[in-house]
Structure 1
Amino acid sequence: MLESFRTVSGLDEETAWKALQHYRKAYADHGADKSEPYDGIIDLLKHLQSAGIPMAVATSKVEDQATRLAQRFGIEGHFINVCGASDSEGRASKADVIAELLLRLQSEGIDISNPAMVGDRSYDVAGAAAHGIPTIFALWGYGEAEEASEAAAVVPSPEALLTLILDYIPRPAAKHDNHPRLKPTNSTGQYAQSNVC
C-alpha cells in the first residue's frame, strides 16, 4: 500500500506514510470483516496439507491483521507461520517479509532449500525473486495478467494450482522427509512448488 500511495497516488513520503496509517486503521476497524476467501481456497489448503506440503504466509498486510484473518476463516492451522509487514521491526516490502519468514521457517527446522511463492501481484514476484524463489502467479487474485511476466508459472484457479503441485512434486522417499523438492515442470523451466509461501 505504501508503494501504491507513492507511485499511483503520487504522494510524497510523509503523506504516503500518513495515508498508510489511515488505511490500516480503517482496514482493522471495518475492512477485515468484509474479507472472504476466494472460492476453492479452503479446499486447496486442506489438500496441500494432506499431501504433506508445508505452507506459510508472506503478506504485505500488517502481521496481526493477517493472523486475525487466518483465524477468522479457520485456516491458521494449515500454516506453519504467518508473517506480515511490521513498522516496528522494519518490514515494509514483500522482500523484507519473505526474508523474515525464511528465517522463521529455518528456525523451526523446515527445509527452505526449494521454496516457491504463490502470489497475485508483481510485488510477490519481485519480492520472491530477490531471494531466488520462483513464483506461481494466481490469476484469480487482485493482480493483472501482465504482472505475471516474470513468474515461473501461471495458474487460472485454485484447482489448477493444486493439479500443478500434485502432478509435479515427487512424493517423499521416506516418512520422515515430508518436504518435497521444487522441480522444473517442463523444458521452459517453469516450476511447481514445495514449501509454499
Structure 2
Amino acid sequence: MTGPAAAPTGAPLALLDLDGTLTDSYPGIAASARVAFAALGLPVPDDRALRRFVGPPLPSSFALFGVPPERVPEAVEAYRGYFREQGMWQNSVYDGVPEQLAALRDAGVRLAVATSKPEVFARPICQRYGLAEHLEGGVDGVFGAPLDDVPSTKADVIAAALAALTPTGPVVMVGDRSHDAVGAAAHGLPCLGVAWGYAEPGELEDAGAIGVVPRVDGLAAAVLDALAGATGTLPEVSASASPAAGPTTGT
C-alpha cells in the first residue's frame, strides 16, 4: 500500500507507539504469553499481571516475571510460535484512532509508528488494520525491533525512525508506557502519554511524560499542542475529529 504524500520539509513529526496506543493488542499478547509459560512448565500469571506484557520488549517482560535468563530465548520462541499463527490477529484498533490520525495528517503532521514489537509483525498489523494509510510512506513508516536476539530498546527504535525520516521540524513521541518516555528522553524528545493503554497509575508521569491524554478523541489536539510548544504555532485540528462524546476505546 502506498501511503499519503510526504509532508513538506520542516513539518512536525509524531512518532506513535502501537500496542496500547493505536491498538488494543492485549488479547493476542496475553494468549501468546500463556502458551509460553505453559510450554516452559511455569505458573501462568493472571490477567491483571499479563497486562504488563503489553509494550516493553518481550525478553524484558519474561525476565520481569522471573523466567531464568537461560530460558528466556525458549520462552520467546514459544510465544512467537503462537503469535505468528494467531496472536497477532487477536487485536483491534481503538475507536476513533483513524479519525485522529487523519486529522493530524490534515494539519500537516508527519506520522510514523515506533514500537518495541518486532517490525516483521508490526508492519502487517498496521497494513491489515488500516493504520498504514495514515503513515509517512505507508508500511515504510513503521519502525520496530529486530526479530533476532540483538538487544533492542525503545530508544533504538526511535533512533532508527529518526535516521530514516530525518525530521527538520519538532518531534514528539506518543505512547502508553514508561519505556516510551524513557526512549524519547534518550533523544531529547518530549513524550505525550495516553491513558487508554496499559500503564500503571502514575507510570507515565513518573517516567517524565509531558502530559497524559485522557481520551482518544483528544489525541490530535494534544499532539498539536505538544508540537506547538516547540514551534509556536501549528494548524488547528478539525473539530470533526474531536467528538464531544463517544467510546474511548474499541473492543
Q: TM-score, normalised by structure 2?
A: 0.62
Judging changes above 3 Å, is the alpha-carbon distance between structure 1 residues 70 and 137 closer, same or farther for their aligned structure 2 residues?
Answer: same
Show the 5 A alignment for 1:117-196: 117-149=173-205, 150-167=208-225, 169=227, 182-183=230-231
Q: How many residues align?
A: 170
1:88-146 per-position Cα deviation (integer Å, ceiling 9, x unaligned): 4936211111111111111xxx32x5211000011111111111111100000122232
CA shift for structure 1 position 168: 6.0
Match of 2:62 in 1: 5
Q: Does 1:103 align with 2:163?
A: yes
Judging changes above 3 Å, is the alpha-carbon distance between structure 1 residues 167 and 83 closer, same or farther for their aligned structure 2 residues?
Answer: closer
2:142 maps to which of 53, 76, 82: 82
Judging changes above 3 Å, is the alpha-carbon distance between structure 1 residues 183 and 14 closer, same or farther for their aligned structure 2 residues?
Answer: farther
Q: Distance in 2 between matches of 1:114 and 1:89?
A: 33
Contact 1:125 1:151 in 2 (8 A): yes
* 1:46 counterpart letter in structure 2: A
Contact 1:139 1:145 in 2 (8 A): no
Q: Distance in 2 between matches of 1:167 and 1:130?
A: 22
CA shift for structure 1 position 153: 1.2
Judging changes above 3 Å, is the alpha-carbon distance between structure 1 residues 51 and 22 closer, same or farther for their aligned structure 2 residues?
Answer: same
Contact 1:116 1:182 in 2 (8 A): no
CA shift for structure 1 position 17: 2.2
Q: Distance in 1 between matches of 2:63 and 2:226?
A: 40
Q: Does 1:59 align with 2:95?
A: no
Q: Distance in 1 between matches of 2:149 and 2:63?
A: 21
Judging changes above 3 Å, is the alpha-carbon distance between structure 1 residues 137 and 167 closer, same or farther for their aligned structure 2 residues?
Answer: closer
Contact 1:122 1:148 in 2 (8 A): yes
Q: Does 1:42 align with 2:42?
A: no
Structure 1: 5+ residue runs without aligned partners? 171-180, 186-197
Compute the RMSD of aligned alpha carbons. 2.2
Contact 2:172 2:227 in 1 (8 A): no
Which structure ranks higher in relative contact order (CA pairs < 8 Å, sequence separation ≥ 6)? 2
Q: TM-score, normalised by structure 1?
A: 0.78
Judging changes above 3 Å, is the alpha-carbon distance between structure 1 residues 55 and 182 closer, same or farther for their aligned structure 2 residues?
Answer: farther
